Amino acid sequence: MRQYSAPVDYRRMESLLHGFEPSFAFEPADQIAEAEYADRIERLRRDATVAGLDAILVHASLVGWYHTSNPFLRYLCDWMREGVLIVPTDAGLAPELLSFWTESAVVPPGGEPLLVGEIWQVSPFGRESVDRPGSPLRKTVEAAAGVLRRLGLAGGQLGLIGDDTAAPCWAGLRELLPGTGFRDATEMILRMQRIRSAAEIALIRSAGQLIDIGYEAACHVTRPGVTDYEVYAAFSYAQLSRGGETGDGYQIGVNQYGTHCGKPYGHVIRDGDLLNLYISNVTYLGYCAQAARMMVIGTATDEQEEVLEMTVDAVRRAEVLIKPGTKFSDLHDAAFEAYVERGYLKSKETRTMPFNWEALPDGSPRPVPRRPVADPDWEAQGRRLLHVYPAAPGPHNPNLGHAIGMPKLPQYNVASHNTDRMEPGMVFVLHAQWVDPLVAGSNLGDLYVVTETGFENLTCRTSVEPFRA
């Protein structure tokens, strides 16, 4: 039986959020109107026409626990499951959707597909699951080929949109439809992610509010003696109870160095700990927000305070530059000048910066240092920490941030080599990070949308300044 390094008061766990009230009222955005989905399909069809394609096939697979490998189907027709969407370029032919190719019991609502003419249910197959011979993938490929033949699209030119999980599906279609042209068209849908509509921004704004409410709940419960499980649970409950779609899109790290960020494992918070909530993804109606926050429990070391102050300074130096026409590289350079001035970096250039997960200078794998690290809460479970993570000091990534919109769809990075200029409707996160293993660490950042005259901070209800518990 798992043992904790401190006695657990199970009655306390359910009462930690007693009396919690967020500092502001959550403002849930409305569903995106069907007309906006129709516009997306129309734009996709226009791109297909220009490219000389007769149809677009869009693929998303089921991965993990009820998550799709990409959000392409949700973006085009609000379908949150896996499937293959066939979108004829001819506007007179309605799109058709093949799905339900696993036995995972998730059915609408939410996510009744919009603007789809026919939905085809592909059964699970297999001896162990249903004692029926066959493969769901093969049956899906055969069904998709049948739809394409019926619509007169077999033998034409087809654009393919998907990710790596789509490869077996596309290979099967090539086998069944000889003489048909296939061309990767994923870039078409990625280009549509660059600028967000007002309705999309409203959803991301609501997701940002869920982050702030979750963080306030986490601050409410954090104190010595509480576990990382309880902090993570408080954040999750506060955002999920108001409409958040998932509770596994963020990480928590808490120890005396502020240098680890992962999943909770039973760490008991102590005086002198640093706690990082790296909120990589809180999703509301298909759109996600991201931010990063730090807590100081009790007293931090002088070096830790300097790192915390540096990362706050970096975010604020970049933030003031956000407006249409500014280069993303200018934000990156302004932020990392705070590191150079303090002697933490020699250069602001992305390609020369050290970072936590880098290989050796010649490109070969970097060994993770083997060294026992004391962790009483892990050891109480019969395990030991025998390596120092991460393997290299520096920022988590050698850039300042990246685009945000729908999960798994990064379109650009805020880096020294990105000289693109900002446009109204762009949404991105800025997170300044630094980790020196077993010494000090910080990860702080906010989410922004570029407006006509400047910017809006979408996670402004809580401060990028560390919370002091």
pLDDT in tens, 333-345: 999 999 999 999 9
Residue 245 has pLDDT above 70, yes or no: yes
Domain 34-191 carries which CATH code? Answer: 3.40.350.10
pLDDT band at 349 (very low <50, low <70, confident <90, very high): very high
> b/e map of 349-360 (b: 16 or more CB within 10 Å)?
bbeebebbebee
* Mean pLDDT value across residues 386-406: 94
- The domain ranges of the chain are 34-191, 195-468
Tokens 């998907």 correspond to: 162
Q: Which SS3 state, helix, strand or coil, does residue 453 take?
A: coil
Q: pTM to 2 decimals? A: 0.95
Q: Provide the percentage of residues in the chain whose pLDDT is more than 90.
A: 87
152-to-174, 182, 209, 336, 468 alpha-carbon distances in Å: 16, 15, 48, 56, 65
- Length of the chain counted residue by residue: 469
Q: Find the mean pLDDT for residues 319-344.
A: 98
Residue 46 backbone phi and psi in degrees, to 5: -65, -45
What residues does 427 pair with on adjacent strands?
449
Pairing of strands 401-403, 427-436: antiparallel
Question: Comparing C-alpha atoms, which of 323, 327, 321, 322 is closest to residue 421?
Answer: 327
CB neighbour list of residue 293: distance below 8 Å, 6 or more residues apart: 215, 276, 277, 279, 444, 462, 464, 466, 467
Given a cut of 80, whether residue 64 has pLDDT beyond it is: no
pLDDT at 449 over 90: yes
294 — alpha (psi -120 to 50), left (phi > 0) or beta?
beta
AA identity, residue 448: Y
- Average pLDDT in the 85-97 region? 98
Q: Which residue has the higher pLDDT, 258 or 435?
A: 435
End-to-end CA distance of the chain: 31
> What is the tens place of the pLDDT at every residue in 99-135?
987 766 666 767 789 999 999 999 888 887 778 888 8
pLDDT in tens, 203-237: 999 999 999 999 999 999 999 999 999 999 999 99
pLDDT band at 260; cut points 50, 70, 90 = confident
User: Has residue 184 got a pLDDT over 90?
Assistant: yes
| Number of neighbours of residue 314 by Cβ within 10 angstroms | 29
Please tell me the predicted confidence (pLDDT) of residue 4.
Answer: 54
CATH of the domain spanning 195-468: 3.90.230.10
273 — pLDDT class (breaks 50, 70, 90): very high
Burial category of 382 from C-beta neighbours within 10 Å (exposed 0-12, middle 13-18, buried 19 and up)? exposed
Q: What is the mean pLDDT of residues 251-264?
A: 89
* Helix, strand, or coil (residue 285): coil
**Alpha-carbon dihedral angle through residues 76, 280, 217, 440, given to the nearest 10 degrees:** -170
* Exposure b/e, 180-209, CB count within 10 A at least 16 = b: bebeebbebbeebbebbeebbbbbbbbbbb
Q: What is the mean pLDDT of residues 394-411?
A: 92
261: CB partners within 8 A, 6+ apart: 251, 252, 253, 276, 278, 443
Please say whether the beta carbons of 282 and 211 come within 8 A. yes
**Mean pLDDT score, 368-383:** 94
